[in-house]
Amino acid sequence: MSVQTAFKGNKRALPSKPCTICGRDMSWRKAWAKNWEQVLYCSDACRKKKGRPAATPLPSVAI
C-alpha cells in the first residue's frame, strides 16, 4: 500500500461534483484519480447523450 492512499472508508470525505448532463452528484473514484478534473459524466448513458441537442417542444400550429 502506498503512502498516497489515505482513504480509510469514509466516503463523505471524498470530493464530488455534478454530472454535466443530469446533474447527479458523482463521488471521486480511484480510477478517476489521474483525470478527476476532466471527468464530466456520471455514466455511459449520460456520455451518449452529450451530442444530442436538448429536446424542444414543437411549435403549435393553428388550423
- Identify the pLDDT of residue 6: 57
Sorted by where each begins, the domain ranges of the chain are: 17-46
Instruction: Tell me the per-residue pLDDT of 18-52, one tens digit each, with 9 for 90 and over.
Output: 999 999 999 888 888 899 999 999 999 999 987 76
Q: Quick one: which of 4, 3, 32 has its CA closest to 16?
A: 32
- Identify the pLDDT of residue 11: 74
Residue position matching grid coordinates 476532466? 38
Whether 58 has a pLDDT exceeding 70, the answer reads no
46's enclosing H/E stretch is helix 44-49
| pTM for this prediction | 0.58
Assess contact for 15 and 28: CB atoms under 8 A. yes
